[in-house]
Structure 1
Amino acid sequence: MHDPASASRAPGNPVRDLPLPDLAGFAHRWLDADGVRLHAVEGGQPDGPAVVLLAGFPQTWWAWRKVMPKLAGRCRVIAIDLPGQGHSERPDISYDTHTVAGHVHAAVEALGVSTYWLVAHDIGAWVAFSLALKHRSQLRGLALLDAGIPGITLPDAIPTDPEQAWKTWHFAFHLVPDLPETLLAGREREYVGWFLKAKTLSSDTFDDAETEQYAASVAAEGGLRASLAYYRDAAESARKNHEALEQQRLTVPVLGISGSNGSIPDMAASIRPWADRATGIVVPDAGHFIPDEQPDAVAAALTAFITDDV
């Protein structure tokens, strides 16, 4: 991993005080994505089918580090930090998922990619669902991992049963103006660490260095504001999703990937009412952070999904 000084020397990097991790065989890129500078990490086969990976809260593109090399033998693999995430710019924009999807798609086009598979987890899946409605002609397939999508699979009411409430309590907390910032500033390490431990089947999935890395991304200038903005703009994301679904259904093939101990028991079933073709798998021995917990199973499922249509 680079030190912060090395990160500051990376051309175009808008988050200069955040260490920049490297992954063997992959290169860092910064792209002008319709006015927002986004960070992408690219490798694999230049002429292979393009696979774009999006991570969620509280992670960055690094969430895919164990999966990316397993796809690189046959695919062109591109992991993108969302606006406000990792080494992407943290702009003062709407973070509704249709707006963010436009920036992500612009980043993919800036890499010269015309058609691609989109794979996304958590908040990344929120963005991916909206992107699939907006740019369906350029998507070859959509894989969604353990995510309650605003207006689609996210419940309207937060459960109060303690056996369930710990999975979703933060949605309401993040919506409260100002209070999360007051309570979390300077405590990003403790907050991020809670998610990484509580939402994995094995609480030692993430080591201290990884926890520190993700916490540093949230703590970096604008990171906490942007992280909360995805939740604060979720109602607008839901409204735009429903508006789009009044005109069309999801027409691209959809793969739902659930963890045996995750948040959404059956991603495919939750998406099927809006999709023409949705299949699903449940990954054994996994909580919410499936790419970290069971990377081999995720890579195998994605490879089969892509190969079926190549």
Structure 2
Amino acid sequence: MTDLPTSSRHVCESNPVRDLPLHDLAGFTHRWVDADGIRLHAIEGGQSTGPVVVLLAGFPQTWWAWREVMPSLAGRFHVIAIDLPGQGHSERPERSYDTHTVAAHVHAAVEALGVSTYWLVAHDIGAWVAFSLALRFESQLRGVALLDAGIPGITLPNAIPTDPDRAWKTWHFAFHLVPDLPETLLAGRERDYVGWFLKKKALSPDKFDDAELDHYAAAIAVDGGLHASLAYYRDAAESARKNHEALKGRHLTVPILGISSSHGSIPDMAASISPWADNATGAVVPDAGHFIPDEQPEAVATAIADFILNGD
């Protein structure tokens, strides 16, 4: 089982989610910053003078999804993993979770950490936010890597398939949209729900051990985390609308790397993004399902490093 070290010294007034155990990662420091009116959690380490890499995780995870990628990047880069609003040890605000609103908070957090330009790497819902962030703050990005994500209005299909061979990958989009019902049915069963995604969508159902399931379930169960997680789906139509509005008459020019996997949700991320981006390239990680950073961390770290070093 994966060892999940915790530290009480970081659990202080600045941490808005004090009922969730805080896991440490050797060589990295926890920080909380005011991100345009909400407190976001970041964990930072690596080379202070190196290119800055910002990492965003998706549903149903936290920054911990990057724990095996971060040390591999830390030898050459300044690495910052951020919990999105409503995720992990970040505040769960009662406000919009459309990805343009969330992107503004994330970018504010990066600036609060003293960073002006950076590389952005994001998975799943984190990639939703990253795409919108690129539309709003493109001039401050060096490049964006997007991992296996159906981005609202971009790579997300307009209709949920009903074919059983495909429907299991996207059925939850409609379920999460229903007001209140998911919260009612899932309260007290967060571990079962989180476990379904982590076991079903990974190539190997044994990839995530009990400690990891406990961690992610607790993050969703505590302090309104489930409601906040669902809010990203409930605001997805607004995210799509804002994405299309921002793309009127323009394309993204920042370099985009679309990272797919051999058994993921989006077979070719680069091809699906290329209609909206002038410089999109792709990579496919073998022997992985949807949770690519957990399943093949070294391959992901190598793809990210090559993307940055070839772009500098």
Alpha-carbon contact 1:7-1:20 (below 8 Å) kept: no
- The CA distance in 1 between the partners of 2:274 and 2:77, in whole Å, is 27
| Alignment equivalent of 2:234, drawn from 210, 227, 232 | 232
Alpha-carbon contact 2:88-2:219 (below 8 Å) kept: yes
Distance 1:186 1:8, change over 3 A: farther
**Which residue in 1 is equivalent to 2:86?**
84
Shift in Å, 1:222? 1.2
Alpha-carbon contact 2:11-2:22 (below 8 Å) kept: no
Alpha-carbon contact 1:259-1:286 (below 8 Å) kept: yes
**Which residue in 1 is equivalent to 2:6?**
2
Alpha-carbon contact 1:7-1:16 (below 8 Å) kept: no
Alpha-carbon contact 2:262-2:284 (below 8 Å) kept: yes
Is 1:51 the counterpart of 2:53? The answer is yes
- Secondary structure of 1:181's partner? helix
- The CA distance in 1 between the partners of 2:10 and 2:92, in whole Å, is 16
Shift in Å, 1:287? 0.2
**Which residue in 1 is equivalent to 2:159?**
157
- Secondary structure of 2:162's partner? coil
Alpha-carbon contact 1:146-1:258 (below 8 Å) kept: yes
Shift in Å, 1:8? 7.3
| Alignment equivalent of 1:265, drawn from 252, 267, 281 | 267
Give the letter for the 1:2 counterpart: T
Distance 1:157 1:278, change over 3 A: same
Give the RMSD, CA atoms, in angstroms. Answer: 0.9
Per-residue CA deviation, residues 101-132 of structure 1 (Å, 9 max, x unaligned), is 00000000001101000000000000000000
- The CA distance in 1 between the partners of 2:11 and 2:19, in whole Å, is 10
Per-residue CA deviation, residues 21-77 of structure 1 (Å, 9 max, x unaligned), is 000000000000000100000000000000000000000000000000000000000
- The CA distance in 2 between the partners of 1:277 and 1:226, in whole Å, is 33
- The CA distance in 2 between the partners of 1:56 and 1:291, in whole Å, is 11
| Alignment equivalent of 1:302, drawn from 293, 296, 304 | 304
Is 1:26 the counterpart of 2:28? The answer is yes
Identity between Structure 1 and Structure 2 (%): 80
- The CA distance in 1 between the partners of 2:218 and 2:282, in whole Å, is 34
Corresponding residue pairs, total: 308
- The CA distance in 2 between the partners of 1:278 and 1:31, in whole Å, is 32
Structure 1 alignment gaps of length 5 or more? none
Give the letter for the 2:54 counterpart: V
- The CA distance in 2 between the partners of 1:9 and 1:24, in whole Å, is 17
Alignment of 1:90-105 (within 5 A): 90-105=92-107
- Secondary structure of 1:167's partner? coil
**Which residue in 2 is equivalent to 1:72?**
74
**Which residue in 2 is equivalent to 1:15?**
17
**Which residue in 2 is equivalent to 1:206?**
208
Shift in Å, 1:14? 0.2
- The CA distance in 2 between the partners of 1:248 and 1:70, in whole Å, is 36
- Secondary structure of 2:259's partner? strand
- The CA distance in 2 between the partners of 1:148 and 1:237, in whole Å, is 12
Per-residue CA deviation, residues 220-241 of structure 1 (Å, 9 max, x unaligned), is 0110110000000000000000
- Secondary structure of 1:135's partner? helix
- Secondary structure of 2:284's partner? strand
Shift in Å, 1:309? 1.6
Give the letter for the 2:257 counterpart: L
| Alignment equivalent of 2:197, drawn from 195, 198, 202 | 195
Give the letter for the 2:210 counterpart: D
- The CA distance in 1 between the partners of 2:241 and 2:98, in whole Å, is 10
- Secondary structure of 1:258's partner? strand
- The CA distance in 2 between the partners of 1:255 and 1:16, in whole Å, is 36
Shift in Å, 1:91? 0.5
